[in-house]
């Protein structure tokens, strides 16, 4: 009994190996390679079976319990990995690191050695199947030193590597811009969902590692980095080492990203403006979707990056706009460019796979085709007259790849396979020895084919066939009823296998030819593999040049795509002024316009004119009248212009915007966890503390998340604060008509409304923005439009009449507000000490006589009574 128990609790050698690997994999799911499957055990198996919807089985026992298990076939593992990664898991891949034959050499019962070769995580993917070709895939490491956050961001699928450092209040915007697939940090940061890691976050060590990695004596050539940034970079490199194991992922030299080189756009603004995803979580319905006419994955990724980080440098914006202008004005060149780009493979990502050691012959084929096409494009574009500076800066990256392209063209077949294992990717004529091996193999196969006829003749069995399979190799197969003569000892055939209906044999000359074919094949495969290695090395020798070509092609695609969009929608080139103006004629909302067009409706264009003397527009009007649309379209125009795009307007003269804010009253944000009104107030507070005179703010129905009185009071105070303190350009939409009274006191505030009309008892929205306040709110008309039952409507009408009577008598809920001191005066008033305190402060207690002390008590009591 005792021995039995012992047997049960001692894990089998395989289980012991598994458990050791699992301990190493820690919080990852462990894919344990067994033959043609990756198997998962224990809790991993339960999690994966549920997530992948595959059968959970059991195998053997561990500590007296059956071991839960599930598995996925190796050949389709990518699709399963994709689902696990999407569901937020990380997966460690344990491969067999020796062949069964090698294991056997060590001892007849030795277990095949296995090791973790890679950890697959959301932020470190390179596989085409696991990535969205039109989106970047960032891994971000975050480190705090003092009051700076350092960010190191890498997209190893294309090698982009950016370093930046931001103040704590800008962290949210920076992370929102990157929208990382995975974040690691050495300590928890407020509101950031990050995996905590300790190793590598050391600025001194990091500096050394960066220098080593990029082969430089100093980092000065890349920019200057503070300690927080270096620490983050160190954490990033350590994490990449950990997940990629022996193969170093692709990192281009780091780009120092100055956080103040870009328009600051925080997460709430990105969400509310639906920049890259719509409110319903899809790409369709987002700004990006409405603007994106790029034809390559790399172009789409760059456009998303541009829209996510509009520029602040006027010269850089103009440079982008000049390139768009070139293609906008020359439809022929634009069409040619877009047609050529469309056929282009994604060389940036092919390069990423090659650098990471996961490259295939097909990736080399993509480099060959892409770089060849790049040269052709270069020649077409270089002959254009009046080339913008940016084009001249991009062109050199497109050429100079000739010798690599020639080498790959000579060496590779036209469409090389993804899988190198079966060979067949090296072209004929590249290597005479390989050609000989192939010829030998071919001759052998032909000889084998001719043996079939010979054997038929010799045996008189017309149904005799020579076949090939993985187990027997080449063999002779005859129907069972003809097998007897071949079974005879002197037949010249050796029996190998009897199956239902057929019997299989070997024969000496067949064996000889098969050996010849087999050997030639194995040698040819080895020769191809050696060539593959050389070709990859030749390509990697030019890593930076290829990456530059990929970037240049992406920039051309973005410019041509924006030009296409501008031409399609009649967009205009924005111009920039030095003062804080915002002057748009005939502005439109690209997403709403597109949606309306598809339903056959027309979008009404509207002007918007903000200047230093009229910086705040208060927009009133009925619900559904078009207020939100108007606000957003102007924010989007500011953003698109600084991203280097034409804008949906007839004319746009803009002063650069340093920070963009968009907030929507609480009831539109129900999806969030916190109290919605709380969210609204937190976000509004962020604007009041961060908006500068160069900022652009849109506030939509702020204050509606609470009761009428509270809401009006808050909206009132927010408008005053924006006007008096932030002094930024602002569009403020509200249904509180009472706010219009502010126009009398706030001189840079002006009133506007969206027009609506009641026509034959029906409400008609004109969607026109006009001067002055709305004459009425049309709430009941909107309710009628929405289908509120007639009884309810008529009851509402009587209640409204009663309320309006009350308003007429008392002056309404905002009565008396005009008498409130101005914002600045009110702030001062709050700060002034009350008389009781003032009197106390004057008293020198030590100098008081008893009589004076009694007088003082009377005086204080009197003051207290007056106050009240």
Dist. CA 266–CA 405, nearest whole Å: 44
Between residues 476 and 604, which has the closer beta carbon with respect to ligand ADP?
A: 604
Between residues 243 and 763, which has the closer beta carbon with respect to ligand ADP?
A: 763
Do 226 and 148 meet the contact criterion of CB atoms below 8 Å apart? Answer: yes
DSSP class per residue in 114-128: EEEEEEE-GGG---G
300 φ/ψ sector (left φ>0, alpha ψ -120 to 50, else beta): alpha
Q: Which of 96, 629, 634, 684 contacts ligand ADP by CB under 6 A?
A: 629
Closest separation in Å from C-beta 647 to ligand ADP: 15
669 binds ligand ADP (CB under 6 A): no
Backbone phi, then psi, for 90, in 5-degree steps? -115, 145
Between residues 307 and 592, which has the closer beta carbon with respect to ligand ADP?
A: 592
**Nearest residue to 374 (alpha-carbon basis) of 551, 565, 253, 250:** 551
Q: What is the DSSP letter of 387?
A: -
Q: Which of 68, 626, 705, 773 contacts ligand ADP by CB under 6 A?
A: 626
Dist. CA 511–CA 338, nearest whole Å: 56
Between residues 704 and 727, which has the closer beta carbon with respect to ligand ADP?
A: 704
Dist. CA 509–CA 506, nearest whole Å: 9
Do 425 and 528 meet the contact criterion of CB atoms below 8 Å apart? Answer: yes
- Contact window for ligand ADP (CB under 6 A) among 108-116, 287-295, 316-324, 617-625: 617-625
DSSP H helices in 751-789 = 779-785
Closest separation in Å from C-beta 779 to ligand ADP: 11
Between residues 592 and 748, which has the closer beta carbon with respect to ligand ADP?
A: 592
- Contact window for ligand ADP (CB under 6 A) among 84-92, 262-270, 600-608, 801-809: 600-608
Size of site (CB under 6 A) for ligand ADP: 14
DSSP class per residue in 318-338: HHHHHHHHHHHH-HHHHHHHH
Annotate each residue in 237-256 with x if it binds ligand ADP (CB under 6 A) or - if it does not, as one string. Answer: --------------------
586 φ/ψ sector (left φ>0, alpha ψ -120 to 50, else beta): left
Between residues 239 and 617, which has the closer beta carbon with respect to ligand ADP?
A: 617
Query: Exposed, middle or buried by CB within 10 Å (0-12, 13-18, 19+), for 818?
Result: exposed
Dist. CA 393–CA 694, nearest whole Å: 31
Between residues 183 and 604, which has the closer beta carbon with respect to ligand ADP?
A: 604
Do 319 and 389 meet the contact criterion of CB atoms below 8 Å apart? Answer: yes
- Contact window for ligand ADP (CB under 6 A) among 208-216, 240-248, 598-606, 610-618: 598-606
Closest separation in Å from C-beta 629 to ligand ADP: 3
Between residues 302 and 640, which has the closer beta carbon with respect to ligand ADP?
A: 640
Closest separation in Å from C-beta 588 to ligand ADP: 7
Between residues 324 and 619, which has the closer beta carbon with respect to ligand ADP?
A: 619
Between residues 225 and 603, which has the closer beta carbon with respect to ligand ADP?
A: 603
Binding to ligand ADP, residues 737-796 (CB under 6 A): 754, 767
**Nearest residue to 544 (alpha-carbon basis) of 407, 408, 401:** 401
604 binds ligand ADP (CB under 6 A): yes
- Contact window for ligand ADP (CB under 6 A) among 453-461, 542-550, 601-609, 642-650: 601-609
Between residues 6 and 602, which has the closer beta carbon with respect to ligand ADP?
A: 602
Between residues 608 and 814, which has the closer beta carbon with respect to ligand ADP?
A: 608
- Contact window for ligand ADP (CB under 6 A) among 55-63, 626-634, 641-649, 847-855: 626-634
Closest separation in Å from C-beta 743 to ligand ADP: 20
Between residues 122 and 592, which has the closer beta carbon with respect to ligand ADP?
A: 592
List beta partners, residue 30.
92
Dist. CA 711–CA 705, nearest whole Å: 7
Closest separation in Å from C-beta 652 to ligand ADP: 16
Q: What is the DSSP letter of 727?
A: -
- Contact window for ligand ADP (CB under 6 A) among 187-195, 620-628, 705-713, 855-863: 620-628
- Strand 91-96's sheet: what is its strand order? 57-62, 65-73, 37-41, 29-34, 91-96, 114-120
Between residues 445 and 767, which has the closer beta carbon with respect to ligand ADP?
A: 767
Backbone phi, then psi, for 3, in 5-degree steps? -65, -35
Closest separation in Å from C-beta 574 to ligand ADP: 20
Q: Which of 349, 475, 627, 704 contacts ligand ADP by CB under 6 A?
A: 627
665 binds ligand ADP (CB under 6 A): no
In sequence order, the 6+-apart residues with CB closer than 8 A to the CB of 580 are: 611, 612, 615, 655, 693, 694, 729
- Contact window for ligand ADP (CB under 6 A) among 48-56, 304-312, 483-491, 623-631: 623-631
State the distance between the two ends of the chain, measured CA to CA, in whole angstroms: 90
List beta partners, residue 494.
506
Between residues 632 and 659, which has the closer beta carbon with respect to ligand ADP?
A: 632
Q: Which of 345, 359, 561, 625 contacts ligand ADP by CB under 6 A?
A: 625
Between residues 87 and 601, which has the closer beta carbon with respect to ligand ADP?
A: 601
- Contact window for ligand ADP (CB under 6 A) among 177-185, 558-566, 618-626, 832-840: 618-626
429 φ/ψ sector (left φ>0, alpha ψ -120 to 50, else beta): left
**Nearest residue to 172 (alpha-carbon basis) of 143, 192, 196:** 192
Q: Which of 158, 165, 628, 740 contacts ligand ADP by CB under 6 A?
A: 628
- Contact window for ligand ADP (CB under 6 A) among 151-159, 363-371, 596-604, 848-856: 596-604
Between residues 135 and 619, which has the closer beta carbon with respect to ligand ADP?
A: 619
Annotate each residue in 576-595 with x if it binds ligand ADP (CB under 6 A) or - if it does not, as one string. Answer: ----------------x---
Dist. CA 431–CA 523, nearest whole Å: 13
Dist. CA 499–CA 502, nearest whole Å: 5
Q: Which of 121, 157, 623, 750 contacts ligand ADP by CB under 6 A?
A: 623
Q: How far is CA 785 from CA 666, 754, 756, 782, in A?
A: 24, 17, 13, 5
Binding to ligand ADP, residues 322-341 (CB under 6 A): none
Closest separation in Å from C-beta 626 to ligand ADP: 3
Q: Residue number with the shortest CB distance to ligand ADP?
A: 626
Dist. CA 851–CA 265, nearest whole Å: 66
- The CA angle 808-812-818, to the nearest 5 degrees, is 120
Closest separation in Å from C-beta 695 to ligand ADP: 22
Do 585 and 327 meet the contact criterion of CB atoms below 8 Å apart? Answer: no
521 binds ligand ADP (CB under 6 A): no
378 binds ligand ADP (CB under 6 A): no
Dist. CA 309–CA 164, nearest whole Å: 13
Do 152 and 203 meet the contact criterion of CB atoms below 8 Å apart? Answer: no
- Contact window for ligand ADP (CB under 6 A) among 142-150, 404-412, 622-630, 647-655: 622-630
Between residues 610 and 624, which has the closer beta carbon with respect to ligand ADP?
A: 624
Q: Which of 149, 505, 603, 716 contacts ligand ADP by CB under 6 A?
A: 603
Closest separation in Å from C-beta 593 to ligand ADP: 8
Q: What is the CA radius of gyration of the chain?
A: 37
Do 195 and 90 meet the contact criterion of CB atoms below 8 Å apart? Answer: no
**Nearest residue to 129 (alpha-carbon basis) of 84, 94, 81:** 81
Which residues bind to ligand ADP, rule: CB under 6 A?
A: 592, 596, 603-604, 606, 623-629, 754, 767
């Amino acid at each position: 009994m005792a021995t039995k128990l012992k047997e049960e609790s001692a894990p089998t050698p395989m289980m012991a190996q598994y458990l050791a690997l699992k301990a190493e994999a820690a919080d990852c799911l462990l894919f344990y390679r067994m033959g043609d499957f990756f198997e998962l055990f224990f809790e991993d198996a339960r999690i994966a079976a549920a997530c992948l919807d595959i059968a959970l089985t059991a195998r053997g026992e561990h500590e007296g319990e059956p071991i839960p298990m599930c598995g996925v076939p190796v050949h389709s593992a990518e699709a399963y990995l994709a689902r696990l990664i999407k569901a937020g898991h990380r997966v460690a891949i344990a491969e067999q690191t020796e062949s069964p034959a090698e294991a056997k050499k060590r001892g007849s019962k030795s277990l095949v050695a296995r090791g973790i070769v890679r950890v697959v995580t959301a932020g470190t993917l390179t596989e085409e199947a696991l990535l969205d070709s039109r989106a970047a895939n960032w891994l971000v490491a975050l480190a705090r030193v003092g009051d700076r956050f350092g960010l190191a961001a890498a997209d190893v699928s294309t090698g982009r590597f950016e370093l930046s450092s931001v103040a704590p209040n800008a962290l949210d915007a920076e992370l929102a811009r990157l929208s990382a697939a995975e974040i690691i940090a050495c300590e928890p940061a407020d509101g950031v969902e990050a995996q905590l890691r300790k190793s590598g976050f050391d600025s001194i060590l990091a500096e050394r590692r960066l220098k080593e990695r990029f082969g430089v004596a100093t980092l000065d050539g890349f920019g200057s980095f503070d300690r927080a940034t270096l620490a983050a970079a160190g954490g990033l490199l350590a994490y990449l080492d950990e997940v990629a194991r022996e193969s170093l992922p692709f990192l281009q030299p780091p780009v120092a990203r100055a956080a103040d080189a870009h328009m600051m756009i925080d997460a709430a603004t990105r969400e509310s403006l639906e920049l890259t995803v719509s409110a319903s979580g899809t790409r369709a319905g987002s700004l990006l979707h409405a603007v994106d006419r790029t034809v390559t994955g790399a172009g789409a990724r760059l456009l998303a990056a541009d829209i996510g980080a509009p520029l602040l440098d006027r010269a850089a914006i103009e440079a982008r706009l000049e390139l768009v202008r070139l293609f906008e004005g020359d439809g022929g060149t634009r069409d040619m460019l877009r047609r050529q780009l469309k056929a282009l493979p994604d060389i940036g990502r092919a390069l990423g796979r090659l650098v990471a050691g996961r490259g295939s012959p097909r990736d080399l084929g993509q480099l060959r085709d892409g770089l060849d096409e790049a040269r052709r494009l270069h020649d077409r574009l270089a002959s254009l007259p009046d080339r913008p500076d940016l084009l001249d800066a991009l062109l050199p990256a497109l050429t100079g790849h000739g010798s690599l392209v020639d080498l790959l063209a000579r060496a590779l077949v036209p469409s090389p396979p993804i899988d190198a294992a079966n060979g067949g990717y090296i072209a004929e004529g590249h290597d005479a020895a390989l050609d000989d091996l192939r010829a030998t193999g071919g001759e052998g196969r032909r000889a084998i084919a001719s043996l079939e006829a010979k054997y038929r003749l010799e045996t008189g069995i017309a149904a005799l066939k020579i076949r090939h399979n993985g187990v027997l190799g080449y063999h002779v197969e005859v129907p069972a009823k003809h097998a007897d003569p071949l079974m005879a000892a002197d037949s010249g055939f050796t029996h190998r296998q009897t199956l239902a209906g057929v019997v299989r044999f070997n024969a000496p000359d067949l064996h000889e030819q098969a050996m010849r074919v087999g050997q030639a094949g194995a040698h040819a495969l080895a020769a191809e593999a050696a060539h593959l290695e050389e070709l990859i090395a030749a390509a990697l020798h030019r890593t930076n040049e290829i990456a530059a070509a990929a970037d240049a092609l992406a920039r051309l695609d973005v410019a041509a795509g924006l030009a296409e969009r501008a031409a399609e929608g009649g967009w205009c080139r924005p111009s920039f002024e030095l003062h804080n103006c915002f002057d748009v004629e005939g502005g439109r909302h690209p997403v709403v316009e597109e949606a309306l067009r598809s339903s056959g409706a027309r979008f009404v264009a509207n002007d918007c004119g903000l200047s230093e003397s009229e910086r705040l527009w208060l927009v009133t009007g009925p619900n559904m009248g078009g207020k939100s649309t108007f606000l957003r379209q102007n924010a989007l125009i500011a953003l698109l212009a600084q991203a280097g795009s034409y804008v949906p307007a007839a004319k746009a003269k803009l002063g650069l915007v340093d920070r963009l804010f968009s907030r929507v009253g609480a009831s539109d944000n129900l999806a969030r966890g916190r109290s919605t009104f709380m969210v609204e107030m937190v976000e509004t507070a962020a604007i009041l503390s961060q908006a500068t005179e160069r900022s652009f703010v849109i506030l939509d129905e702020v204050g509606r998340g609470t009761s009428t009185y509270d809401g009006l009071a808050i909206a009132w105070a927010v408008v005053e604060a924006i006007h008096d303190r932030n002094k930024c350009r602002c569009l403020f939409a509200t249904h509180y008509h009472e706010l219009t009274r502010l126009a009398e006191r706030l001189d840079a505030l002006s009133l506007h409304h969206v027009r609506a009309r009641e026509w034959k008892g029906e409400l008609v929205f004109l969607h026109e923005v006009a001067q002055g306040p709305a004459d009425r709110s049309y709430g009941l008309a909107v309710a009628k439009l929405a289908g509120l039952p007639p009884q309810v409507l008529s009851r509402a009408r009587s209640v409204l009449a009663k309320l309006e009577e009350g308003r007429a008598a008392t002056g309404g809920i905002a009565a008396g507000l005009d008498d409130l001191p101005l914002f600045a005066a009110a702030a001062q008033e709050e700060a002034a000490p009350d008389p009781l305190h003032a009197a106390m402060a004057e008293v020198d207690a030590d100098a008081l006589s008893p009589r004076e002390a009694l007088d003082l008590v009377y005086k204080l009591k009197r003051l207290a009574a007056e106050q009240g």
